[in-house]
Structure 1
Amino acid sequence: MSTEETQAAAREPAFAAGAITERIIAEKQGAVGWITFNNPTRRNAISVDMWEAIPTVLDRFESDPRIRVIVLSGSGDKAFVAGADISQFEHQRSSPRDVQYYENISEHAQLRLQFSDRPVIAMIRGFCLGAGVNLALASDLRLVATDARFGVPAARMGLGYRVSSTKNLVDAIGAANAREMLFTARQFSAEEAKAMGLAHHVVPPAALEALVLEYCATISANAPLTMRAAKRIIRELLKPPSDFDAAACDALITQCFESADYVEGRRAFMEKRKPAFNGK
Protein backbone atom coordinates (compact mmCIF):
# COMPACT_ATOMS: atom_id res chain seq x y z
CA MET A 1 0.00 0.00 0.00
CA SER A 2 1.13 3.55 -0.70
CA THR A 3 1.30 6.16 2.04
CA GLU A 4 -1.94 7.67 0.72
CA GLU A 5 -3.68 4.29 0.69
CA THR A 6 -2.48 3.56 4.21
CA GLN A 7 -3.73 6.94 5.44
CA ALA A 8 -7.09 6.39 3.73
CA ALA A 9 -7.63 2.92 5.18
CA ALA A 10 -9.94 2.83 8.16
CA ARG A 11 -8.74 1.42 11.46
CA GLU A 12 -10.69 -1.66 12.46
CA PRO A 13 -10.75 -3.34 15.89
CA ALA A 14 -8.62 -6.47 16.01
CA PHE A 15 -10.71 -7.95 18.86
CA ALA A 16 -14.31 -7.98 19.91
CA ALA A 17 -15.20 -5.63 22.75
CA GLY A 18 -14.12 -7.07 26.10
CA ALA A 19 -11.79 -9.70 24.63
CA ILE A 20 -8.71 -7.91 25.98
CA THR A 21 -8.20 -5.14 28.52
CA GLU A 22 -9.58 -1.74 27.53
CA ARG A 23 -6.18 -0.29 28.37
CA ILE A 24 -4.78 -1.81 25.16
CA ILE A 25 -6.38 -0.78 21.87
CA ALA A 26 -5.54 -3.21 19.07
CA GLU A 27 -6.47 -2.15 15.55
CA LYS A 28 -5.72 -3.07 11.95
CA GLN A 29 -5.25 -0.43 9.28
CA GLY A 30 -4.47 -2.05 5.97
CA ALA A 31 -1.03 -3.64 6.38
CA VAL A 32 -0.49 -1.97 9.77
CA GLY A 33 -1.25 -3.43 13.18
CA TRP A 34 -1.66 -0.76 15.86
CA ILE A 35 -1.09 -1.31 19.58
CA THR A 36 -2.14 1.78 21.53
CA PHE A 37 -1.38 2.03 25.23
CA ASN A 38 -4.61 3.47 26.59
CA ASN A 39 -4.18 4.59 30.18
CA PRO A 40 -4.20 8.38 29.65
CA THR A 41 -5.16 9.36 33.20
CA ARG A 42 -1.82 7.84 34.27
CA ARG A 43 0.07 9.01 31.19
CA ASN A 44 -0.31 5.52 29.70
CA ALA A 45 1.61 3.87 32.53
CA ILE A 46 1.75 0.12 31.96
CA SER A 47 -0.43 -2.00 34.24
CA VAL A 48 -0.37 -5.76 34.77
CA ASP A 49 -3.32 -6.35 32.44
CA MET A 50 -1.58 -4.36 29.69
CA TRP A 51 1.57 -6.48 29.92
CA GLU A 52 -0.59 -9.61 29.83
CA ALA A 53 -2.46 -8.43 26.70
CA ILE A 54 0.55 -7.56 24.53
CA PRO A 55 1.48 -11.18 23.56
CA THR A 56 -2.17 -11.92 22.76
CA VAL A 57 -2.33 -8.96 20.38
CA LEU A 58 0.95 -9.93 18.74
CA ASP A 59 -0.36 -13.46 18.20
CA ARG A 60 -3.38 -12.02 16.41
CA PHE A 61 -1.31 -9.72 14.19
CA GLU A 62 1.30 -12.34 13.36
CA SER A 63 -1.37 -14.83 12.30
CA ASP A 64 -2.67 -12.35 9.70
CA PRO A 65 -0.48 -12.30 6.56
CA ARG A 66 -1.94 -8.92 5.62
CA ILE A 67 -0.23 -7.30 8.61
CA ARG A 68 3.31 -6.40 7.53
CA VAL A 69 4.32 -3.89 10.23
CA ILE A 70 3.30 -3.17 13.85
CA VAL A 71 3.15 0.29 15.43
CA LEU A 72 3.21 1.05 19.17
CA SER A 73 1.70 4.36 20.28
CA GLY A 74 0.33 6.09 23.35
CA SER A 75 -3.19 7.40 23.74
CA GLY A 76 -3.39 11.19 23.64
CA ASP A 77 -0.52 13.62 23.23
CA LYS A 78 1.04 13.62 26.71
CA ALA A 79 2.88 10.32 26.78
CA PHE A 80 3.95 7.23 24.91
CA VAL A 81 4.34 5.27 28.16
CA ALA A 82 5.35 7.05 31.36
CA GLY A 83 6.64 3.94 33.09
CA ALA A 84 4.95 1.20 35.08
CA ASP A 85 1.67 1.93 36.86
CA ILE A 86 3.00 2.78 40.34
CA SER A 87 -0.52 2.67 41.79
CA GLN A 88 -0.33 -1.15 41.48
CA PHE A 89 3.03 -1.51 43.22
CA GLU A 90 1.72 -1.82 46.78
CA HIS A 91 -0.68 -4.64 45.95
CA GLN A 92 0.91 -6.27 42.90
CA ARG A 93 4.67 -5.69 43.29
CA SER A 94 5.23 -5.84 47.04
CA SER A 95 5.91 -9.52 47.84
CA PRO A 96 8.76 -11.51 46.24
CA ARG A 97 6.18 -13.69 44.49
CA ASP A 98 4.35 -10.66 43.06
CA VAL A 99 7.60 -9.07 41.95
CA GLN A 100 8.62 -12.26 40.16
CA TYR A 101 5.24 -12.55 38.42
CA TYR A 102 5.47 -8.94 37.25
CA GLU A 103 9.03 -9.46 36.01
CA ASN A 104 7.94 -12.59 34.13
CA ILE A 105 4.99 -11.03 32.31
CA SER A 106 6.78 -7.79 31.46
CA GLU A 107 9.85 -9.69 30.24
CA HIS A 108 7.66 -12.00 28.14
CA ALA A 109 5.82 -9.07 26.55
CA GLN A 110 9.05 -7.29 25.68
CA LEU A 111 10.65 -10.42 24.25
CA ARG A 112 7.57 -11.07 22.12
CA LEU A 113 7.91 -7.58 20.67
CA GLN A 114 11.65 -7.92 20.19
CA PHE A 115 11.40 -11.34 18.54
CA SER A 116 8.37 -10.62 16.37
CA ASP A 117 9.06 -11.32 12.71
CA ARG A 118 7.15 -8.16 11.84
CA PRO A 119 9.06 -4.87 11.95
CA VAL A 120 7.91 -2.92 15.02
CA ILE A 121 7.83 0.90 15.07
CA ALA A 122 7.50 2.93 18.28
CA MET A 123 5.69 6.23 17.60
CA ILE A 124 6.73 8.37 20.55
CA ARG A 125 5.20 11.61 21.81
CA GLY A 126 5.60 13.07 25.27
CA PHE A 127 6.90 11.01 28.17
CA CYS A 128 8.74 7.76 27.43
CA LEU A 129 10.02 6.66 30.82
CA GLY A 130 11.05 3.41 32.48
CA ALA A 131 8.87 0.70 30.98
CA GLY A 132 8.25 3.05 28.05
CA VAL A 133 11.97 3.05 27.25
CA ASN A 134 11.96 -0.76 27.53
CA LEU A 135 9.11 -1.00 25.02
CA ALA A 136 10.78 1.48 22.71
CA LEU A 137 14.02 -0.52 22.84
CA ALA A 138 12.09 -3.71 22.01
CA SER A 139 10.96 -1.98 18.82
CA ASP A 140 12.99 -1.89 15.62
CA LEU A 141 12.49 1.78 14.81
CA ARG A 142 11.77 4.73 17.09
CA LEU A 143 10.13 7.69 15.37
CA VAL A 144 9.87 10.58 17.77
CA ALA A 145 8.20 13.97 18.18
CA THR A 146 10.17 16.96 19.41
CA ASP A 147 8.13 16.99 22.63
CA ALA A 148 9.31 13.50 23.64
CA ARG A 149 11.18 13.01 26.92
CA PHE A 150 13.14 9.85 27.71
CA GLY A 151 14.40 8.52 31.00
CA VAL A 152 14.90 5.51 33.26
CA PRO A 153 14.06 6.62 36.82
CA ALA A 154 14.83 3.25 38.46
CA ALA A 155 17.54 4.78 40.67
CA ARG A 156 15.00 7.19 42.16
CA MET A 157 12.80 4.32 43.31
CA GLY A 158 15.33 1.69 44.31
CA LEU A 159 14.23 -0.65 41.53
CA GLY A 160 16.51 -3.22 39.96
CA TYR A 161 16.72 -2.62 36.20
CA ARG A 162 16.62 -6.07 34.63
CA VAL A 163 19.60 -7.42 32.72
CA SER A 164 17.79 -7.84 29.39
CA SER A 165 16.58 -4.24 29.46
CA THR A 166 20.06 -3.00 30.36
CA LYS A 167 21.54 -4.98 27.47
CA ASN A 168 18.99 -3.52 25.04
CA LEU A 169 19.86 -0.05 26.31
CA VAL A 170 23.60 -0.61 25.93
CA ASP A 171 23.11 -2.16 22.46
CA ALA A 172 21.13 0.92 21.37
CA ILE A 173 23.03 3.82 22.90
CA GLY A 174 26.37 2.42 24.10
CA ALA A 175 27.71 1.84 27.58
CA ALA A 176 28.71 5.47 28.24
CA ASN A 177 25.25 6.86 27.48
CA ALA A 178 23.59 4.00 29.34
CA ARG A 179 25.61 4.86 32.43
CA GLU A 180 24.50 8.49 32.28
CA MET A 181 20.85 7.54 31.80
CA LEU A 182 20.84 4.99 34.63
CA PHE A 183 23.04 6.86 37.11
CA THR A 184 21.40 10.29 36.78
CA ALA A 185 17.81 9.01 36.27
CA ARG A 186 17.20 12.34 34.51
CA GLN A 187 15.03 13.00 31.48
CA PHE A 188 16.58 13.42 28.03
CA SER A 189 15.15 15.53 25.22
CA ALA A 190 14.23 14.13 21.82
CA GLU A 191 17.33 15.68 20.27
CA GLU A 192 19.54 14.17 22.98
CA ALA A 193 17.89 10.81 22.34
CA LYS A 194 18.61 11.09 18.62
CA ALA A 195 22.24 12.06 19.24
CA MET A 196 22.80 8.95 21.36
CA GLY A 197 20.96 6.58 18.99
CA LEU A 198 17.78 6.13 21.00
CA ALA A 199 15.64 7.91 18.38
CA HIS A 200 15.92 7.32 14.63
CA HIS A 201 14.13 10.48 13.50
CA VAL A 202 12.72 13.53 15.29
CA VAL A 203 9.93 15.64 13.76
CA PRO A 204 7.38 18.20 15.02
CA PRO A 205 4.40 16.55 16.76
CA ALA A 206 2.01 17.47 13.93
CA ALA A 207 4.22 15.60 11.43
CA LEU A 208 4.78 12.43 13.46
CA GLU A 209 1.85 10.27 12.36
CA ALA A 210 2.44 11.11 8.69
CA LEU A 211 6.09 10.05 9.05
CA VAL A 212 5.07 6.80 10.74
CA LEU A 213 2.54 6.00 8.01
CA GLU A 214 5.14 6.79 5.35
CA TYR A 215 7.50 4.29 6.98
CA CYS A 216 4.69 1.75 7.27
CA ALA A 217 3.89 2.09 3.57
CA THR A 218 7.55 1.69 2.62
CA ILE A 219 8.11 -1.32 4.86
CA SER A 220 4.86 -3.07 3.95
CA ALA A 221 5.80 -2.92 0.26
CA ASN A 222 9.06 -4.79 0.88
CA ALA A 223 9.63 -8.55 0.93
CA PRO A 224 8.53 -10.06 4.28
CA LEU A 225 11.02 -12.93 4.17
CA THR A 226 13.92 -10.55 3.58
CA MET A 227 12.88 -8.37 6.52
CA ARG A 228 12.41 -11.42 8.73
CA ALA A 229 15.89 -12.64 7.80
CA ALA A 230 17.35 -9.20 8.50
CA LYS A 231 15.73 -9.02 11.96
CA ARG A 232 16.91 -12.47 12.95
CA ILE A 233 20.43 -12.05 11.58
CA ILE A 234 20.85 -8.71 13.36
CA ARG A 235 19.80 -10.40 16.61
CA GLU A 236 22.38 -13.12 16.01
CA LEU A 237 25.09 -10.55 15.32
CA LEU A 238 24.40 -8.91 18.70
CA LYS A 239 25.14 -12.17 20.50
CA PRO A 240 28.59 -13.12 21.77
CA PRO A 241 30.61 -14.78 18.96
CA SER A 242 30.43 -18.12 20.75
CA ASP A 243 26.61 -18.04 20.56
CA PHE A 244 26.34 -16.90 16.93
CA ASP A 245 24.31 -19.37 14.85
CA ALA A 246 25.84 -19.12 11.40
CA ALA A 247 23.86 -22.08 10.08
CA ALA A 248 20.54 -20.47 11.03
CA CYS A 249 21.57 -17.24 9.31
CA ASP A 250 22.61 -19.10 6.17
CA ALA A 251 19.27 -20.94 6.16
CA LEU A 252 17.37 -17.65 6.34
CA ILE A 253 19.31 -16.26 3.39
CA THR A 254 18.77 -19.45 1.39
CA GLN A 255 15.04 -19.29 2.10
CA CYS A 256 14.93 -15.81 0.58
CA PHE A 257 16.69 -16.92 -2.61
CA GLU A 258 14.40 -19.96 -2.92
CA SER A 259 11.19 -17.95 -2.42
CA ALA A 260 8.51 -16.92 -4.89
CA ASP A 261 9.13 -13.37 -3.69
CA TYR A 262 12.67 -13.49 -5.09
CA VAL A 263 11.24 -14.54 -8.45
CA GLU A 264 8.72 -11.70 -8.23
CA GLY A 265 11.41 -9.21 -7.27
CA ARG A 266 13.55 -10.11 -10.28
CA ARG A 267 10.61 -9.96 -12.66
CA ALA A 268 9.41 -6.63 -11.30
CA PHE A 269 12.90 -5.18 -11.70
CA MET A 270 13.16 -6.35 -15.31
CA GLU A 271 9.63 -5.17 -16.09
CA LYS A 272 10.23 -1.82 -14.36
CA ARG A 273 7.24 -2.10 -12.04
CA LYS A 274 6.67 -2.31 -8.31
CA PRO A 275 6.88 -5.87 -6.96
CA ALA A 276 3.91 -7.52 -5.26
CA PHE A 277 5.40 -9.65 -2.50
CA ASN A 278 3.35 -12.23 -0.59
CA GLY A 279 5.85 -13.54 1.95
CA LYS A 280 6.26 -16.93 0.29
Structure 2
Amino acid sequence: MEDQAEVGTQPISLTVRAGVATITIDRPAKKNAITAAMWSALIDAVAQVDAMADARLLVLRGAGADFSAGADIAEFETVRRDAETARSYEALNARAFAAFRNAQVPTLAVIRGACLGGGFGLAISCDLRLAAPDARFSIPAAKLGLAYPADGIRHIVWAAGPQLARYLVHSGQQISAAQALDTGLLLEIIEDEALDTRVEALAASIAATAPLTNRATKQAINALLSDNPAMMREAERLGDMTFDSEDYAEGRRAFREKRKPVFTGR
Protein backbone atom coordinates (compact mmCIF):
# COMPACT_ATOMS: atom_id res chain seq x y z
CA MET A 1 0.00 0.00 0.00
CA GLU A 2 1.23 3.50 -0.84
CA ASP A 3 0.60 6.38 1.54
CA GLN A 4 0.49 10.00 0.35
CA ALA A 5 1.89 12.51 2.83
CA GLU A 6 0.94 16.19 2.91
CA VAL A 7 3.70 18.67 1.95
CA GLY A 8 2.00 22.07 2.07
CA THR A 9 0.72 23.58 -1.16
CA GLN A 10 3.93 23.40 -3.22
CA PRO A 11 4.51 21.03 -6.18
CA ILE A 12 6.51 18.66 -3.99
CA SER A 13 4.93 15.27 -3.26
CA LEU A 14 5.83 12.62 -0.71
CA THR A 15 4.70 9.01 -0.92
CA VAL A 16 5.68 6.03 1.22
CA ARG A 17 5.51 2.39 0.27
CA ALA A 18 7.05 -0.60 2.06
CA GLY A 19 9.53 1.56 3.94
CA VAL A 20 10.61 3.50 0.83
CA ALA A 21 9.77 7.21 0.87
CA THR A 22 9.72 9.02 -2.48
CA ILE A 23 9.91 12.79 -2.82
CA THR A 24 8.95 14.03 -6.28
CA ILE A 25 9.64 17.50 -7.65
CA ASP A 26 6.39 17.89 -9.57
CA ARG A 27 6.60 20.89 -11.88
CA PRO A 28 7.28 19.25 -15.24
CA ALA A 29 6.01 22.16 -17.35
CA LYS A 30 8.94 24.20 -15.96
CA LYS A 31 11.45 21.32 -16.11
CA ASN A 32 10.94 21.00 -12.35
CA ALA A 33 12.58 24.38 -11.69
CA ILE A 34 12.56 25.01 -7.96
CA THR A 35 11.10 28.15 -6.39
CA ALA A 36 12.10 29.46 -2.97
CA ALA A 37 8.88 28.07 -1.53
CA MET A 38 9.69 24.68 -3.06
CA TRP A 39 13.12 24.64 -1.39
CA SER A 40 11.32 25.06 1.92
CA ALA A 41 8.86 22.30 1.01
CA LEU A 42 11.73 19.93 0.22
CA ILE A 43 13.20 20.59 3.67
CA ASP A 44 9.81 19.89 5.27
CA ALA A 45 9.39 16.69 3.26
CA VAL A 46 12.75 15.30 4.41
CA ALA A 47 11.86 16.20 8.01
CA GLN A 48 8.69 14.15 7.65
CA VAL A 49 10.70 11.17 6.41
CA ASP A 50 13.19 11.55 9.27
CA ALA A 51 10.26 11.33 11.71
CA MET A 52 8.99 8.04 10.20
CA ALA A 53 10.09 5.11 12.34
CA ASP A 54 9.59 2.65 9.48
CA ALA A 55 11.37 4.61 6.72
CA ARG A 56 14.33 2.72 5.27
CA LEU A 57 15.23 4.68 2.13
CA LEU A 58 14.46 8.08 0.61
CA VAL A 59 14.19 8.38 -3.18
CA LEU A 60 14.32 11.79 -4.87
CA ARG A 61 13.10 12.19 -8.43
CA GLY A 62 11.54 14.67 -10.84
CA ALA A 63 8.16 14.31 -12.52
CA GLY A 64 8.11 13.90 -16.28
CA ALA A 65 11.18 14.07 -18.48
CA ASP A 66 13.57 15.98 -16.19
CA PHE A 67 15.05 15.67 -12.73
CA SER A 68 15.32 19.43 -12.23
CA ALA A 69 16.60 22.39 -14.22
CA GLY A 70 17.60 23.96 -10.90
CA ALA A 71 16.50 27.12 -9.17
CA ASP A 72 13.74 29.10 -10.87
CA ILE A 73 15.67 32.01 -12.40
CA ALA A 74 12.42 33.88 -12.96
CA GLU A 75 12.43 34.65 -9.21
CA PHE A 76 15.97 36.00 -9.07
CA GLU A 77 14.95 39.65 -9.57
CA THR A 78 13.38 39.48 -6.12
CA VAL A 79 14.80 36.58 -4.10
CA ARG A 80 18.41 36.76 -5.36
CA ARG A 81 18.78 40.31 -6.65
CA ASP A 82 21.85 41.39 -4.62
CA ALA A 83 24.38 40.15 -2.05
CA GLU A 84 22.00 40.50 0.89
CA THR A 85 19.10 38.61 -0.66
CA ALA A 86 21.51 36.08 -2.18
CA ARG A 87 22.85 35.18 1.26
CA SER A 88 19.34 34.38 2.50
CA TYR A 89 18.50 32.44 -0.65
CA GLU A 90 21.73 30.44 -0.54
CA ALA A 91 21.18 29.64 3.12
CA LEU A 92 17.84 28.15 2.11
CA ASN A 93 19.54 26.14 -0.64
CA ALA A 94 22.16 24.93 1.81
CA ARG A 95 19.48 23.79 4.25
CA ALA A 96 17.78 21.79 1.51
CA PHE A 97 21.03 20.14 0.42
CA ALA A 98 21.92 19.39 4.05
CA ALA A 99 18.49 17.86 4.65
CA PHE A 100 19.15 15.18 2.04
CA ARG A 101 22.82 14.77 2.92
CA ASN A 102 22.03 14.30 6.63
CA ALA A 103 18.76 12.37 6.28
CA GLN A 104 18.40 9.54 8.77
CA VAL A 105 18.14 6.98 5.96
CA PRO A 106 20.14 6.39 2.76
CA THR A 107 19.06 8.61 -0.13
CA LEU A 108 18.84 7.80 -3.83
CA ALA A 109 18.50 10.29 -6.70
CA VAL A 110 16.79 9.02 -9.86
CA ILE A 111 17.84 11.24 -12.74
CA ARG A 112 16.32 11.74 -16.16
CA GLY A 113 16.92 14.67 -18.49
CA ALA A 114 18.08 17.97 -17.02
CA CYS A 115 20.00 17.91 -13.73
CA LEU A 116 21.30 21.46 -13.61
CA GLY A 117 22.37 24.02 -11.05
CA GLY A 118 20.35 23.57 -7.88
CA GLY A 119 19.00 20.30 -9.25
CA PHE A 120 22.59 19.11 -9.54
CA GLY A 121 23.13 20.23 -5.95
CA LEU A 122 20.20 18.12 -4.79
CA ALA A 123 21.38 15.09 -6.75
CA ILE A 124 24.89 15.19 -5.29
CA SER A 125 23.43 15.61 -1.81
CA CYS A 126 21.99 12.11 -2.17
CA ASP A 127 24.06 9.06 -1.25
CA LEU A 128 23.42 7.17 -4.49
CA ARG A 129 22.60 8.27 -8.03
CA LEU A 130 21.07 6.29 -10.89
CA ALA A 131 20.41 7.89 -14.27
CA ALA A 132 18.84 7.30 -17.64
CA PRO A 133 21.08 7.71 -20.72
CA ASP A 134 19.54 11.12 -21.52
CA ALA A 135 20.55 12.66 -18.19
CA ARG A 136 22.71 15.76 -18.50
CA PHE A 137 24.51 17.73 -15.84
CA SER A 138 25.80 21.27 -15.51
CA ILE A 139 26.47 24.12 -13.10
CA PRO A 140 25.64 27.29 -15.05
CA ALA A 141 26.71 29.85 -12.41
CA ALA A 142 29.51 31.29 -14.58
CA LYS A 143 26.99 31.89 -17.37
CA LEU A 144 24.72 33.83 -14.99
CA GLY A 145 27.45 35.89 -13.36
CA LEU A 146 26.91 34.60 -9.83
CA ALA A 147 29.12 32.53 -7.55
CA TYR A 148 28.17 29.46 -5.59
CA PRO A 149 28.94 29.62 -1.86
CA ALA A 150 32.13 27.88 -0.76
CA ASP A 151 30.18 25.22 1.13
CA GLY A 152 28.31 24.32 -2.06
CA ILE A 153 31.56 24.08 -4.01
CA ARG A 154 32.96 21.75 -1.36
CA HIS A 155 30.13 19.30 -1.94
CA ILE A 156 30.58 19.47 -5.70
CA VAL A 157 34.24 18.52 -5.21
CA TRP A 158 33.23 15.63 -2.94
CA ALA A 159 30.84 14.22 -5.50
CA ALA A 160 32.63 15.00 -8.75
CA GLY A 161 36.30 15.23 -7.78
CA PRO A 162 38.38 18.40 -8.17
CA GLN A 163 39.06 18.12 -11.92
CA LEU A 164 35.43 17.66 -12.99
CA ALA A 165 34.28 20.21 -10.40
CA ARG A 166 36.60 22.79 -11.91
CA TYR A 167 35.40 22.03 -15.42
CA LEU A 168 31.75 22.27 -14.45
CA VAL A 169 32.00 25.53 -12.50
CA HIS A 170 34.44 27.31 -14.81
CA SER A 171 32.91 26.36 -18.15
CA GLY A 172 29.22 26.07 -17.35
CA GLN A 173 29.15 23.30 -19.96
CA GLN A 174 26.96 20.23 -19.74
CA ILE A 175 28.26 16.71 -19.41
CA SER A 176 26.43 13.55 -20.44
CA ALA A 177 25.35 10.64 -18.30
CA ALA A 178 28.20 8.59 -19.80
CA GLN A 179 30.75 11.23 -18.79
CA ALA A 180 29.24 11.44 -15.31
CA LEU A 181 29.47 7.68 -14.93
CA ASP A 182 33.12 7.63 -16.03
CA THR A 183 34.02 10.13 -13.31
CA GLY A 184 32.15 8.30 -10.55
CA LEU A 185 29.38 10.86 -10.26
CA LEU A 186 26.82 8.12 -11.03
CA LEU A 187 26.44 4.60 -9.72
CA GLU A 188 24.81 3.27 -12.90
CA ILE A 189 23.18 4.28 -16.16
CA ILE A 190 20.01 2.31 -16.85
CA GLU A 191 17.96 2.38 -20.05
CA ASP A 192 14.94 4.58 -19.48
CA GLU A 193 12.35 1.81 -19.78
CA ALA A 194 14.21 -0.27 -17.17
CA LEU A 195 15.17 2.54 -14.78
CA ASP A 196 12.13 2.36 -12.51
CA THR A 197 12.45 -1.42 -12.23
CA ARG A 198 16.10 -1.04 -11.21
CA VAL A 199 15.18 1.62 -8.68
CA GLU A 200 12.53 -0.64 -7.14
CA ALA A 201 14.97 -3.54 -6.90
CA LEU A 202 17.71 -1.44 -5.31
CA ALA A 203 15.21 0.18 -2.94
CA ALA A 204 13.91 -3.21 -1.84
CA SER A 205 17.46 -4.42 -1.28
CA ILE A 206 18.36 -1.44 0.90
CA ALA A 207 15.02 -1.52 2.75
CA ALA A 208 15.73 -5.13 3.77
CA THR A 209 19.02 -4.27 5.48
CA ALA A 210 19.54 -3.15 9.08
CA PRO A 211 18.51 0.53 9.43
CA LEU A 212 20.66 1.16 12.50
CA THR A 213 23.70 -0.08 10.60
CA ASN A 214 22.87 2.16 7.65
CA ARG A 215 22.45 5.17 9.90
CA ALA A 216 25.80 4.58 11.60
CA THR A 217 27.71 4.00 8.38
CA LYS A 218 26.12 7.00 6.65
CA GLN A 219 27.19 9.18 9.57
CA ALA A 220 30.71 7.75 9.37
CA ILE A 221 31.01 8.48 5.64
CA ASN A 222 29.76 12.05 6.09
CA ALA A 223 32.15 12.53 9.01
CA LEU A 224 35.06 11.33 6.91
CA LEU A 225 34.17 13.62 4.02
CA SER A 226 33.71 16.57 6.37
CA ASP A 227 36.83 15.80 8.39
CA ASN A 228 34.62 16.52 11.40
CA PRO A 229 35.71 14.94 14.72
CA ALA A 230 32.34 15.58 16.38
CA MET A 231 30.53 13.78 13.57
CA MET A 232 33.01 10.91 13.81
CA ARG A 233 32.34 10.56 17.52
CA GLU A 234 28.61 10.46 16.78
CA ALA A 235 29.23 7.79 14.16
CA GLU A 236 31.13 5.75 16.73
CA ARG A 237 28.27 6.13 19.20
CA LEU A 238 25.75 4.99 16.61
CA GLY A 239 28.00 2.09 15.68
CA ASP A 240 28.26 0.99 19.31
CA MET A 241 24.46 1.03 19.57
CA THR A 242 24.13 -1.60 16.85
CA PHE A 243 25.86 -4.21 19.05
CA ASP A 244 23.19 -3.82 21.75
CA SER A 245 20.29 -3.80 19.29
CA GLU A 246 17.57 -6.34 18.68
CA ASP A 247 18.53 -6.23 15.01
CA TYR A 248 22.05 -7.51 15.75
CA ALA A 249 20.55 -10.40 17.72
CA GLU A 250 18.16 -11.05 14.81
CA GLY A 251 21.05 -10.98 12.32
CA ARG A 252 22.99 -13.61 14.29
CA ARG A 253 19.86 -15.71 14.77
CA ALA A 254 18.97 -15.59 11.09
CA PHE A 255 22.52 -16.62 10.16
CA ARG A 256 22.29 -19.67 12.43
CA GLU A 257 18.87 -20.58 11.07
CA LYS A 258 19.95 -20.03 7.45
CA ARG A 259 17.18 -17.54 6.64
CA LYS A 260 16.88 -13.89 5.75
CA PRO A 261 16.82 -11.58 8.76
CA VAL A 262 13.85 -9.35 9.47
CA PHE A 263 15.11 -6.06 10.84
CA THR A 264 12.93 -3.65 12.80
CA GLY A 265 15.31 -0.79 13.53
CA ARG A 266 15.43 -1.55 17.24
Q: Shorter chain as normaliser: what TM range?
A: over 0.9
**C-alpha deviation, 1:161, in angstroms:** 1.2
The DSSP-based 3-state class of the residue aligned with 1:81 is: coil
Q: Which stretch shows the higher mean deviation, 52-61 or 79-88?
A: 52-61
What is the correspondence of 1:137-216 to structure 2 with a 5 Å cutoff?
137-216=124-203
Residues in 2 aligned to 1:232 and 1:181: alpha-carbon distance in whole angstroms: 28
Q: 2:3 aligns with which of 3, 12, 22?
A: 12
Match of 2:64 among 69, 76, 83: 76
Match of 2:84 among 78, 84, 97: 97
Task: Check the 8 A contact 2:217/2:235 in 1, yes or no.
Answer: no
CA deviation vs aligned residue, 1:132-178 (integer Å, no higher than 9, x gap): 11001110000110010011111100111122221111112211111
Give the deviation of 1:31 after TM superposition.
1.1
Matched, 1:106 2:97: no
Tell me what 1:224 maps to. Answer: 211
Structure 1, unaligned stretches of length 5 or more?
Answer: 1-8
Residues in 2 aligned to 1:114 and 1:167: alpha-carbon distance in whole angstroms = 13
Is the CA contact (8 Å cut-off) linking 1:237 and 1:244 kept in structure 2?
A: no
Matched residues in 2 for 1:227 and 1:189: separation?
Answer: 31
Write the deviation string for residues 102-133 of structure 1: whole angstroms up to 9, x where unpaired: 11211111111111111110000000000011
CA RMSD of aligned residues (A): 1.4
3-state SS of 1:33 partner: strand
2:24 is paired with a residue whose SS is: strand
TM-score using structure 2 length: 0.96
Offset at residue 90 of structure 1 (A)? 1.0
**Residues 121 and 143 in structure 1, CA contact (< 8 A), matched pair in contact too:** yes
Q: How does 1:248-267 map to 2 (within 5 A)?
A: 248-267=234-253
SS at structure 1 position matched to 2:226: coil
**Distance in 2 between the 1:158 and 1:244 partners?**
36
TM-score normalised by structure 1 residue count? 0.91
Give the structure 1 partner of residue 115 of structure 2: 128
How much does 1:95 deviate?
A: 3.7
Q: How much does 1:245 deviate?
A: 5.2
Identity among equivalent positions (%) equals 38
- Name the SS of the counterpart of 1:159 in structure 2: coil
Cα 1:142/1:31, change in 2 over 3 Å: same
Q: What letter is aligned with 1:168?
A: H
* Whole-angstrom CA distance in 2 between matches of 1:105 and 1:256: 34
**Size of the alignment, in residue pairs?**
266
Q: How does 1:239-254 map to 2 (within 5 A)?
A: 239-240=226-227, 243=229, 246-254=232-240
One-letter identity of the residue aligned with 2:47: D
Deviation at 1:246, TM superposition (A): 4.8
Gaps (5+ residues) in structure 2?
none
Distance 1:47 1:245, change over 3 A: closer
2:10 is the alignment partner of 1:22: yes
C-alpha separation between the residues in 2 aligned to 1:244 and 1:60? Answer: 25
Distance 2:9 2:84 in 1: 23
What displacement does 1:247 show? 3.5
Q: 1:22, 1:224 → 2: CA distance? A: 30
SS at match of 2:212: helix
Q: Could you tell me how far 1:249 is from its partner in structure 2?
A: 3.2
1:274 to 248, 260, 264: 260
* 3-state secondary structure, aligned to 2:161: helix
Partner in structure 2 of residue 38 of structure 1 = 26
Please report how far the alpha carbon of residue 250 of structure 1 lies from its aligned counterpart in structure 2 after TM superposition.
Answer: 2.6
Shift of 1:12: 2.6
Quick check: 2:24–2:63 contact (8 Å CA) kept in 1?
yes
How far the C-alpha of 1:212 sits from its partner, in A, is: 0.8
Question: Relative to 1, partners in 2 of residues 1:264 and 1:34: Cα closer, same or farther, differing over 3 Å?
Answer: same
